[in-house]
A and B are shown apart, each in its own frame.
Chain A
Amino acid sequence: MGVTRTGRKPPRVGDQPLFRRMLIGIVLVIVALLIVAPLVVIGVEAFSKGWAVYRDTIIHPDTLHAIGLTVFAAIVAVPVNTAFGIAAAWSITKFDFWGRRFLLVVIEIPFSVSPIVAGVAYLFVYGLQGVFGPTLDEYGVKILFAIPGIILASMFVTAPFVARELIPLMQAQGRDLEEAATSLGASGWRTFFSVTLPNIKWALLYGVVLCNARVMGEFGAVSVVSGNIRGQTNTLPLHIELLYHDYQAAGAFAAASILALIAVFTIIAKVALERQGAGRVRRPALVANPAEKTQ
């Protein structure tokens, strides 16, 4: 009696020490083998032939061009998809219209369809044997095996990212805030910039970061439509593959290390944003206390 025992928890299912240690052990081994080891290999292999080879690969005109093209694709595709994502989330959550639920499903298609399918589909739409291909060719507009194709394919693959982050949040927020702003005399733009945007900014940034990472890393869809022309239509992921097939393993890894670096920055940004309440975390400050909502 009188002894306080802190830190004791009631037993739960699967709480035996042996089971717990085994489960944690298995997970750690899998993470090490599947995720950490390959990343370490990238770093090690990139510098396996020394710093000079690494530097030469990076500053090689083809690599620099690939980096430039990748960045360019992101500069075009990310803002367009951001605007699209905001527009889509806004329409779906603030308006009632026929086909709303259907649109919600359609927006998510790029997530479920293999990127290569998207690439092939673009071939059939814009290719010379495709629907618009001959017409476009007549006017000298080149989409496939050119930069527009790469951007279109990247945009297809990353279309859902921003919308998907915003829709649940904007659904939870409802229309009250916008209605309040409008009833106080604010214009549509004013309402958007003063009321809507500040309340979705972290989720928006989160979506943008994920979208950007995916645009820069996209391989499947882009590889079908780009034509892999070195120094012309080669993005960074495609360039890595090319180097690898040319038996330039160290070069491939060097180029890959850039993408890996982008990934690391993405994760840091993602964690930082999640601290701000973006992503899947609940936002108590933005939604009125649910205990008070239910009367």
Chain B
Amino acid sequence: MKIRLENVVKTFETFRAVRDVSLTIESGELVALLGPSGSGKTTILRMVAGLEYADGGHIYFGDQDATDIPVRDRGVGFVFQHYALFPHMTVAENIAFGMKVSKVKREKAAIDARVVELLRLVRLEGLGDRFPAQISGGQRQRVALARALSVDPKVLLLDEPFGALDANVRHDLRRWLREIHRELGITTIFVTHDQEEALDLADRVVILKDGHIIQQGTAEEVCRNPQSAFVMKFLGDANVLAAEVRDGKAYASGAAIDVSGMADGKAELYARPADLDWSAQGPGIPASITRVLDRPDGRRVLATTETGDQLEFDVEPERAVKAGEGGFVTLRRAKVFALG
């Protein structure tokens, strides 16, 4: 089902959570709403679900205006961050609940068969008799997903689905959700504040800030072409250097980057740690190493330039570097954003 938001607005008392958001989600698409807390992402999701009503604007499910359809009749599957499993029901009863209360009457045998099918889909065969308190967090989240899918929703909505799980489980579930999505082809929107999760999982990432959409696109588009300093910073670690744009070139700490077409004036230069190279001899920005952080996939070096800027970059695991050493940093690529 194609979902379309048109100039949607939501205000909580005095806090404007969502300001004039328009967004189209194609049928079968997997979209991530990504943003820091307070950016309005969860509110948008809850408005699509009908758990909140929009103060202004319209939400369309296909061609139907769903803005004022209550959640009960909207036909969405919602997965809550903290699972919201019914603690007094077994896993199977949780999954069957939606089918039992549905206006569409189903035979008991049909419900049981569907529960077994869903348990298999979420790979929890044999756990139907357990209570939510007796299974792990990752399993609970899978039960929550099975329960949401049980009512054949038009759209699947997930609110920080992996937020309460530890890193390893999160990684597995992410891949698994992608598989389920491919298998079912259901239009899916999920909310996250974890940029890695959004980039790994979604067909399209919608980045929000202060209730606005500030950029959207595939993971490749937003990563390669961030259109603002906020997106650049939010998507990952970035070094920031004060820069000056003159005649199509940006100058920062003695380095020059080609920025043809940009107006002259003060700017900021952003570079990913992987975009910096370190060498003992010049040319480059002179700097001295203050700390070396060892990580499984390489060595992260923290350095200070002569002008006092802090830089972070990565070197190969074999590279011998230590605090106190001096050297030169060269920029392989960088983004420059005008200030103000």
Contacts and interface: CB of A to CB of B under 8 A. Distances in A.
**A and B interact:** yes
Interface of A: 176-177, 179-187, 190, 194-195, 198-199, 284-286, 288-289, 292-293, 295
A139 B231 CA distance: 75
Contacts of A289: 137
Contacts of B84: 176-177, 179-180
A184 B103 contact: no
B49 A185 contact: no
A190 B151 CA distance: 16
Contacts of B223: none
B77 interface: yes
A182 B72 CA distance: 5
Interface of B: 49-51, 70-74, 76-78, 80, 82-88, 97-98, 101-103, 131, 133, 137, 147-148, 150-151, 163-165
Given A179-B78, A184-B101, A292 B87 contact: no
Label chain A's interface by main secondary structure.
Answer: helix
15 contacts: A177-B86, A179-B51, A179-B71, A180-B84, A182-B71, A182-B72, A183-B77, A185-B73, A185-B102, A187-B72, A190-B101, A284-B133, A289-B137, A293-B82, A295-B163
B78 A180 contact: yes
Contacts of A190: 101
B125 to A, nearest CB: 22
A181 B97 CA distance: 8
Q: Point out which of B51, B72, B150 has the most chain A C-beta atoms below 10 A from its C-beta.
A: B72
A293 B140 CA distance: 13
A183 B78 contact: yes
A185 B101 contact: yes
A190 B100 CA distance: 10
Given A181-B97, A184-B151, A186-B72, A285 B87 contact: yes
A288 B164 CA distance: 11
B163 A184 contact: no
Contacts of A187: 72, 101
3 nearest A-B pairs in the assembled complex, by CB-CB distance:
A184-B98, A176-B84, A186-B101
A180 B70 CA distance: 13
Contacts of B98: 184-186
A190 B71 CA distance: 15
B82 A176 contact: yes
